[in-house]
Amino acid sequence: MLRQQIGQQVIMGLRGHSLGTDEAEFIVKNNIGGIILMGRNVESPSQVRELVAELQSLRSRMADKSPLFISIDMEGGRVHRLKPPFTKWPALAHVGKIDSTSVAFRFGQAMGDELRAVGINLDFAPCIDIFTNPENTVIGDRALSSNPEVVSRLGSALVRGYIKADVIPCAKHFPGHGNTFIDSHVDLPVEHKSLDEIEKVELEPFKKIFRARLELVMAAHIKFPKIDPEWPASLSEIFLKQILRERLRYRNLIISDDLDMKALTLNYDKGTIAVRALKAGCNILLYCNEPDSPPTALDAVEKAAKDGQLDPKTIAENHSKILELKREKLVSPDPKSIEDVSRIVGHPDHLRLSKAILEGIVPADLIAQAT
C-alpha cells in the first residue's frame, strides 16, 4: 500500500517511441502516477496517440485504477517536443511583444487542443519567469516579457487557454528563473536576492496566475542563500511551505523540476533528493531521463517513511490530492479518434495563428476561431 501511494507521486520518462514490456511492468507494479514525453518519444501524431492509448490502458491493472498524467514540455520556440505535422509554435517572447490577452488565450487553447487530441493532458507550461537578466540564455525568449505586469496578465491568459482545451497547465519555474546566469541542467544557480526583492518582481506573476485556477506549479532548482542558506527552492521548506503555501496561499499541487538535473545531483545523492523534495513540500517528483532514478527514489522514500525520516501522513496526503485532481480533470483520459487527431493536429487556423504571432499582427478572426 505504501509503495503504491509513493508511486502515484512519480512522473517518469520512457526510452523510446514505444512502451517496453519492462517499463509497462514497472508502471503497473509501482502504481506510477504519470509519464513525461520527451523528444525521443515522439515520431508522429499517430505514434504518440498509440503510445498514450497503451499507457492509459495500463490503469485497469494498477492499484488505484486511476488515469495517468501524460505530460510534456511544450512552451513553443526552443522548448517544443512535438514535430510537424503538429503546429510549430513560436517562443513566448513573440506573444509578449503583441501583449494581447486574447492572443495569449488563443495560443494556449490551440496548442492545448493538439496536445489533448493525442491524449496529452498535462503541459509543463507556461513559463512565467521574468526576463530581468539580458544575459540569461537559459530563459531568453522563453519569457513573455521583462515586465512583471505583462507576464502576469499574459501568463494568466495562457493558463485559461490550456484549461479551456482540457489540458492541465503547470506554471514554472517558482520562485523565478529569469535573473539567473547558470543553467540548472548543468549546475546549481545561486541568486543573492532577498525575499522582499523577489516578492516585488519574481513572485508577482505567480500571485496573479494562482487566481486563474492553476492546478500545478513547478519548483526550480535555484538557491537563494539570503532566504534559505541550506537548500535550493525545490528542496526548501522555507520556499514551498512558508512562502508558497503560507505567504502566497497556494493550495494546489507542487511538482519538482527534473530531479536528475545536475543542479541537484552534483550536490546530493538521488535518494536524499527524492526524500527531501517530499519533505520540503513537493507533491510530485519528476524524472525525465535516467531509467534508474524512479526505482531509486521509490526505494529511498519507502525506507524513509518506514524509518520515521518522512511522515507517512505526507505520503498519504499527497496521494489523496493527486487522485482528487485526476478525478476532477482526467474524466476522459484516452486519446481522440485518429480521424479527430488528423483534423485537429496542424489545423490550418493553428498554422495561420502561429505565423501571425511571429509576424506580430494577429487578425481578429484567428483569435475567435476554435477547432
Q: Per the domain annotation, does 223 fall within a domain?
A: yes
What is the structure's pLDDT at 301?
98
> Tell me: the pLDDT tens digits for 45-55?
999 999 999 99
Segment among 130-144, 197-211, 305-319 with least mean pLDDT = 130-144
Element (H, E) at 177: none
Q: Per the domain annotation, does 217 fall within a domain?
A: yes
Q: Per the domain annotation, does 39 fall within a domain?
A: yes
Encode 267-321 in three state secondary structure: CCCHHHHHHHHHHHCCCEEEECCCCCHHHHHHHHHHHHHHHCCCCHHHHHHHHHH
Mean pLDDT of the chain: 95
Q: Per the domain annotation, does 371 fall within a domain?
A: no
Instruction: Give the number of other Cβ atoms within 10 Å of residue 65's Cβ.
Output: 9
Contact between residue 189 and residue 182 where contact means Cβ atoms under 8 Å apart? yes
What is the structure's pLDDT at 186?
67
Question: Taking 70 as the threshold, does the pLDDT of residue 140 lie above it?
Answer: yes
Contact between residue 189 and residue 154 where contact means Cβ atoms under 8 Å apart? no
Catalytic residue among 22, 185, 192, 334: 185
Contact between residue 141 and residue 76 where contact means Cβ atoms under 8 Å apart? no
Helices 312-329 and 270-280: angle between axes, nearest 10 degrees: 70
Question: Taking 70 as the threshold, does the pLDDT of residue 127 lie above it?
Answer: yes
Instruction: Give the number of other Cβ atoms within 10 Å of residue 74's Cβ.
Output: 22
Domain interval for residue 46: 2-366
pTM, 2 dp: 0.96
Question: Taking 80 as the threshold, does the pLDDT of residue 187 lie above it?
Answer: no
8: closest CA among 257, 285, 217, 272? 285
Question: Taking 80 as the threshold, does the pLDDT of residue 371 lie above it?
Answer: no
Strand, coil or helix: what is 43? coil
Catalytic residue among 73, 123, 257, 258: 257
Q: What is the CATH number of the domain that holds 281?
A: 3.20.20.300
The yes-or-no answer on residue 257 being catalytic is yes
The yes-or-no answer on residue 185 being catalytic is yes
Q: How many domains is the chain partitioned into structurally?
A: 1
35: closest CA among 288, 318, 366? 288
Burial 174-210 (b: 16+ CB within 10 A, else e): bbbbbbbeebbeeebbebebebebbbebbbbbbebbb
What is the structure's pLDDT at 185?
72
> Tell me: the pLDDT tens digits for 62-95?
999 999 999 999 999 999 999 999 999 999 999 9
